[in-house]
Chain A
Amino acid sequence: MSFLIAFAFVAGLTALLAVIAGRRTPGAHREAGVAARGYFRSIAPRLPFALVAAECLGRLLPPEVVTAWIGAGTGPLGVLIASGVGAALPGGPMLAFPLAIALLRAGAGPEALVALITAWSLVAVNRTLLFELPLLGSRFTAWRLAVCAPLPIVAGMAAGALMGLGLAH
């Protein structure tokens, strides 16, 4: 059901943007098609393997370890641990998000998962080493990472507070 809603939302937004783009830029549909094909070609061959890997890894993880370390109710310590795990997580979104579902099913708390995804998105080891370091230099990269270090914990705690307020879940 949630997949249907997600699809309807994304498809509706795409249709809206397609109409706007078609009016504003001639050739926008062709450009969008070419870009989408490029995205598709890099994702399609890996996604099935990424899903199998995440599904099997999720089953290999002992649920009692997941719930004990980052389960719902582990609070600030769970958020801190999840931030560390997220920062160390290699790879792009194709692995991170399927793994996030596996963790959720194994009993991870939503606030810990928010911290984990935030840390991963800010540090993203491969991306930082391949792009940020060579393009922007070590000084920029090091200070950027230092400044961003508290953010996963802030996000995780904020998510916990929002859940406590009953604004989510």
Chain B
Amino acid sequence: MQSRSPTPAPDDEPRPRVTRTTTFFVVLALASAGGLAWRDGGGELRAALADAAVLLLLVSPVIGAALLLGGYVRALLPHDRVARWLGPGSGWRGYALAMLGGIVTPAGPFAVFPILVALRQAGAGFAVCVVYVTAWATLGAQRVMIWELPFLGFDFVLLRLVASLPLPILAGLLAAAVARRVTR
């Protein structure tokens, strides 16, 4: 069905693109730092770099712990089992399972898209697939822990999660309305 690489790269790019993405960040950092120094002077750039260093020190422990958490979620939750649960899902039970599955699926496109392919092949409808991928994108627990919590804090995370809770079901209902046009 799908193969799991022994050393997963969880980010938004496949392994060979890692260096190119790093280059992108280096160039972006240099360009924005250069722009800031040119417009506001070296003092402002030094203040920005100091703020970035403090932020790095503060978020690193949280990101580190969340990465390990992601490792355990991966160890506890093999892809193929998620695909089996969500199979040709029926009605509200399928929606609920798809939503739950999306929330616990690890961050990064490496898990979610192979599962979606497997779901389609297993006969899952468009609506269930949309519920699953919407729950993963808007409520995915791992991304919340690695990125959102350390950077934006509990209050904001809580506000966004509560506001986003109905989104997967809403998307599923809209998807069900157009599902017949999507099936090939």
| B69–A17 CB distance below 8 A | yes
Contact status B147-A9, CB under 8 Å: no
| In contact, A159 and B160 (Cβ under 8 angstroms) | yes
Q: Which residue, B9, B55, B184, has most C-beta atoms of chain A within 10 A?
A: B55
Name the one of B29, B65, B74, B134 contacting A52, with C-beta atoms under 8 angstroms. B29
A68 CB-CB contact with B under 8 Å? no
Interface of A is mostly: helix
Total A-B pairs in contact (CB under 8 Å)? Answer: 280
Segment at the interface with A among B38-46, B80-88, B93-101:
B38-46
With known contacts A46-B22, A55-B51, A135-B116, A5–B154 Cβ distance under 8 A: yes
| A35 and B70 contact, Cβ closer than 8 Å, known pairs A49-B28, A60-B36, A118-B164 | yes
Contact yes or no, A127 B12, CB < 8 A: yes
Knowing A45-B22, A121-B137, the reply to whether A6 touches B69 (Cβ < 8 A) is no
The answer for the CA separation of A55 and B58 in the assembled complex, in Å, is 14
Contacts of A95 in B (CB 8 A): 25, 28
Interface size on A, residues (CB 8 A): 91
Residues 1-45 of B, flagged 1 when their CB comes within 8 A of A and 0 if not, give 000001111111111001001101110110011011001100011
> A99-149: which have CB < 8 Å to B?
100-101, 104, 110, 113-114, 117-118, 121-122, 124, 126-127, 130-132, 135-137, 139-140, 143-144, 146-148
Other A-B pairs, 8, CB within 8 Å; known A132-B109, A135-B113, A155-B164: A17-B76, A40-B64, A91-B24, A110-B156, A110-B159, A144-B130, A151-B170, A162-B162
Q: Do the beta carbons of B163 and A158 come within 8 Å of each other? A: yes
Residues of B within 8 A of A10 (CB): 62, 65-66, 69, 145, 149
A34-B40 in contact (CB<8A): no
Closest beta carbon of chain A to B163's beta carbon, Å: 4
Q: Name the contact of A13 in the complex, choosing from B26, B40, B69, B137 (C-beta under 8 A).
A: B69
Counting CB contacts under 8 A, is A77 at the interface? no
Report whether A118 and B167 are in contact in the complex, using a CB–CB cutoff of 8 Å: yes
Instruction: Output the least CB separation between A49 and chain B (Å).
Output: 4
Q: Cβ of B9: which chain A residues have Cβ within 8 Å of it?
A: 38-39, 41-42
Q: Which residue of A lies closest to B153 (CB)?
A: A2
How distant is A153 from chain B, measured CB to nearest CB, in Å?
11
Task: Specify which of B44, B72, B117, B164 lies most central, judged by the most chain A CB atoms within 10 Å of its CB.
Answer: B72
Structural contact, B149 and A154, CB atoms closer than 8 A: no
Whether B39 lies near A101 (C-beta < 8 A) is no
